[in-house]
Structure 1
Amino acid sequence: MVEKPQAHKNIPVLPWMRKPVDIIDFKETPLHLLPSLDSRLNKALKNVHISSLFPVQVAVWQETIGPGAFERDLCVNSPTGSGKTLAYTLPIVQMLANHSVKCLRALVVLPTRDLAVQVKKVFDDIAPAVGLAVGLAVGQSSLVDEISALIQTPKLEAGCCYDPEDYGNKSRSAVDILVATPGRLMDHINTTKGFTLEHLRYLVVDETDRLLGEAYQSWLPTVLKCACSSDEMLAPCAEAFPPSFCGSFKTIRRFGVERGFKDKAYPRLVKMLFSATLTRNPSKLSLLDLHHPVFLTTGESRYAFPEKLEFFKVICESSDKALYLLALLEKLRGEKCIVFTSCKKMTHRLCSLLKSFGNLQMRIKGYSSCQHQAVRSKTLNAFRKGEVEVLVSSDNLSRGTDVEAVSNVIIYDVPRYVKAYLHRAGRTARAFQIGRCFTLLLRDEMKKFNSLQRKAEISSTVFPLPAESIQSLQAGYTSAFDKLKESVESEESRKRRINFKTARSHKAKAVKPTNV
């Protein structure tokens, strides 16, 4: 049965989502007060300057290591920058800490390479302290190198004959935890000898709403099919590992608990969903076959923005929105800013325009999916170090990417959906720091923006830019715009010449006479 709450009449909500655990009820907690925390993990956290856990981290800890002890699947909706990554990495590492035999028991799936690298680093900070190995499987990297890092093959004795198929079957996982993107994960499932999910205990779907989108859906049924159910886990385990290890996978009968747990095998595959905009679509959530899920969210609003985020709007009196952007950047000089555009083409052109403006005393770089991964990584590192003050980006940077000390987010093009706005705004005010989100608006965009704000349940203050500051930039802006126009025309002319030559070449090949 699906019911509709009064606050969002057009949004179907599953019954278990009606009474969530409110993360607001939890307080930041020092490590020494965290129940059952492994002393080795306590030390590892302090080594990376973490002395306490944020509310979402405490809430998830209580539902996993605490009374909940992973008897339920978790669905967590928490603002960007609230600490969701450590919220799942810490309990998973704690639960796997006492397993001595290495096999792949935890899988974290993320939509992009950059996010996967970021999450692996969090695991790397704490997992080695308890003897766990973490692997990474992402696109745009060597598949051969990944296989050698993820799979341990038996050593061959000199002069011995062996069956290649049997040799592949004896390969074992070299990692306990794998952080992966969907495409590369599927590559390993389909082609890598020795790669198996049959011992998987924990599946984390980070940025859930994006990973359940149509472009990513095919990975999920494959993973769930490959991940052995707890009833099936005994057979492969008994063959591969000693009896002492297999004992940890025995079936436990539980009685006297709520309906649905009786006679259930244990352990099972635990699923954990995390997002700042967690989907409430029943058909999408049903794909995960969740087990008595518990829903953790922040407050009553469907869209959870960072607590200390301030919202401003800049009204552009003319159609030259870029001129107002220049004036705003001058006002924010010395502060780290991310400027979000609607697409990679706009990112490239706006970045070129800003660079052409001679009087802007700040270093500006572009960041989009049309760039090679090495270029993006170099640009992001420079931005993190403060070598670049302004980063002009498409939505490629809007989800999950954590950059310290971003003071301002500037939304150049108003997005169509609240989720996109939330993820862009969430690049600032992270970890409960103060941040500002500016939205540049033409007069005819005001109605659309006001509607978006009502859905998000937020409001913006008008940020005034003095008319004199706009006028003082006019001459330089006109010159920069003319340079950009020439550059765009030259680039389009070059593309037309290339396309013409390519078409002529294909035509010549098609009519090439054959020898008789």
Structure 2
Amino acid sequence: MDESKKRVPHLPWMRNPVDIDLFDERPLSLLPHLDRRLEVALRKMNIESLFPVQVAVWQETIGPGAFERDICVNSPTGSGKTLSYALPIVQALASRKIRCLRALVVLPTRDLALQVKEVFDAIAPAVGLRVGSAVGQTSIADEISELIQRPNLEIHATLDPEYIQMEPRTSVDILVATPGRLMDHINMTKGFSLEHLRYLVVDETDRLLREAYQSWLPTVIQLTCSTDQEMLSHETVDPAFLGSLITVRRSGVERGFKGKRYPRLVKMILSATLTQDPSKISQLDLHHPLLLTSGNKRYRLPELLVSYKLICNSKLKPLYLVALLQELKGEKCIVFTSSVESTHRLSTLLKFLGELPFQFSEYSRLQRQSVRSKTLKAFREGKLEVLIATDAMTRGMDVEGIRNVINYDMPPYVKTYIHRAGRTARAGQSGRCFTLLRKHEVKRFDSMLKKADDNSCTLHSLPADSIESLLPIYSSALEKLKEFVESEARRKSSIGFKSAKGNKRKRTTHKVE
């Protein structure tokens, strides 16, 4: 089969996308309909103009024909996708002063959700909107106190008795959430409601569709679509009102779409590697979707990224990494490994190599959230030059000044390479991506990069003496690592045994009672 034919998307609406590359950066002063208060907030963030993806999305969501279609954005990491949806949503919500949950942004990880919330926090208060989070950073009780407004019974006690029966209600306009904690609130939090939801953003769409996360997506769609149906079937609804509701349904953008709620739930989905799988896309129940993409390419690397491959001896691979980091002389780097275990072992081994001329830290789900937050803060502030992590921990992460990405373990897929490389060369800055390869991996790596139309991966070499100088301490470090791994295994085994023993005692006691 011809290669070009293989790439034709199955979904017709994906075949004629809006090309983001045709848009230029635009100064805020020339952005049509921008609320003056938001312009001031953006300038406080040192933003004087919008990037092409932000201009393209703004054009489709603000002004005549605003949000007539659901928006799908396939754009490289670092191109500015977060602000591309945050800005138009905040502007759209600013026109109605009703305190209820009207916009929901769902992201796969806590760290990424907190990063996105920072963007909303910087602009939403300027127009009187409140932003909340449901990510599990604090206890669910603390989240509830932030998200839910309860009636003041002391005030209402002097009023009509009906007011005493007021239900708790959501006290934020915009919620940034992870799927698991979102479902906790849907299932357990009294007063948490999606009945007024107008905007649903699914960021990092590929990952959120790939992993079920307690069926959060069908639950959200069902809850937002059921409100009007319940109203229509309710026996006590005034027939005159029903007639006016049906008339409204037949007006505007919903004409001809029987059974859809009005105003409809607008969806925005975003990814650097947007899936073309119809079975996955269908889960989103999109309304006349419009695809915005870069150069009609499914896989797109940052424009100012330079790629390098470094062929190394398998047994000495950690030393190649150290020598490369020494050569980079303190520039901010993220080192990617293939697993949490690999991240932990590599970080431990580097510690056993003694004093190194760079500060580094592990960043993985083995650590508590408070530890990860401190590590990321130190990395952002430049107190750490090197972060050793997995794909899951850093997907979507935006840290200013990352000059280099190093693939310690070769990425298994082109999507993985794009998401890793996208941590650098962001927002118009240049960056480099180095991949350490064993000889047998070179051919597969080159073939993978062709899918991203990247044929310019340069071979990088290190001075032989930079490796040799590390050999005397390497054997000792490997021995220490072996002892450390064995010690950890014994400790985990002991903890597991005690836990199982304790559970057995509890079960026995329960039977006796």
TM, length-normalised to structure 2? 0.90
Deviation, 1:132, is 0.6
Cα distance change on mapping 1:263 and 1:471 into 2, 3 Å: closer
Q: State the distance in 2 between where 1:32 and 1:250 align.
A: 40
Q: How many residues align?
A: 501
Q: Indicate whether 1:121 and 2:118 are aligned.
A: yes
Q: Indicate whether 1:449 and 2:445 are aligned.
A: yes
Q: Equivalent residue for 1:440?
A: 436
Q: Indicate whether 1:110 and 2:107 are aligned.
A: yes
Deviation, 1:483, is 2.1
Deviation, 1:488, is 1.9
Q: Equivalent residue for 1:273?
A: 269
Q: Equivalent residue for 2:291?
A: 295
Q: Equivalent residue for 1:356?
A: 352
Q: State the distance in 1 between where 2:136 and 2:181 align.
A: 6
Deviation, 1:482, is 2.5
Q: Indicate whether 1:286 and 2:282 are aligned.
A: yes
Amino acid at match of 1:51: E
* Contact preservation (8 Å) 2:151, 2:166: no
Answer with 349-358 or 271-280: which moved more: 349-358
Q: Indicate whether 1:93 and 2:90 are aligned.
A: yes
Deviation, 1:451, is 2.4
Answer with 403-412 or 492-501: which moved more: 492-501
Q: State the distance in 1 between where 2:5 and 2:81 align.
A: 25
Per-residue CA deviation, residues 407-454 of structure 1 (Å, 9 max, x unaligned), is 100001112221111111111111111010000001121122122212
Which of 460, 465, 477 is residue 463 of structure 1 equivalent to?
460
* Contact preservation (8 Å) 1:28, 1:52: yes
Q: Equivalent residue for 1:211?
A: 208
Answer with 329-338 or 207-216: which moved more: 207-216
Which of 325, 330, 335 is residue 339 of structure 1 equivalent to?
335
Per-residue CA deviation, residues 312-338 of structure 1 (Å, 9 max, x unaligned), is 000103432111111101101220111
Deviation, 1:382, is 0.5
Cα distance change on mapping 1:471 and 1:35 into 2, 3 Å: same
Q: Equivalent residue for 2:42?
A: 45
* Contact preservation (8 Å) 1:303, 1:456: yes
Percent identical = 63
Q: State the distance in 2 between where 1:304 and 1:182 align.
A: 27
Amino acid at match of 1:153: R
Deviation, 1:129, is 0.7
* Contact preservation (8 Å) 2:8, 2:15: no
Q: Indicate whether 1:329 and 2:322 are aligned.
A: no
* Contact preservation (8 Å) 1:314, 1:463: yes
Q: State the distance in 1 between where 2:366 and 2:429 align.
A: 32
Gaps of 5+ in 1: 240-246
TM, length-normalised to structure 1? 0.89
Give structure 1 regions of 4+ aligned residues with deviation exceeding 3 angstroms.
158-162, 164-169, 228-236, 247-250, 252-255, 257-266, 493-512
Q: State the distance in 1 between where 2:50 and 2:94 align.
A: 20
Q: State the distance in 1 between where 2:227 and 2:296 align.
A: 36
Q: State the distance in 2 between where 1:259 and 1:161 align.
A: 47
Amino acid at match of 1:429: A
SS of 1:342's equivalent?
coil
Q: State the distance in 2 between where 1:507 and 1:187 align.
A: 29
Q: Indicate whether 1:430 and 2:436 are aligned.
A: no
Q: Equivalent residue for 1:320?
A: 316
Q: Equivalent residue for 2:239?
A: none
SS of 2:399's equivalent?
coil
Q: State the distance in 2 between where 1:504 and 1:203 align.
A: 46
* Contact preservation (8 Å) 2:254, 2:262: no
Q: Equivalent residue for 1:243?
A: none
Amino acid at match of 1:214: E
Answer with 107-116 or 151-160: which moved more: 151-160
Answer with 76-85 or 10-19: which moved more: 10-19
Q: State the distance in 2 between where 1:278 and 1:192 align.
A: 33
* Contact preservation (8 Å) 1:97, 1:130: yes
Deviation, 1:398, is 2.9
Cα distance change on mapping 1:107 and 1:318 into 2, 3 Å: closer
Gaps of 5+ in 2: 237-243
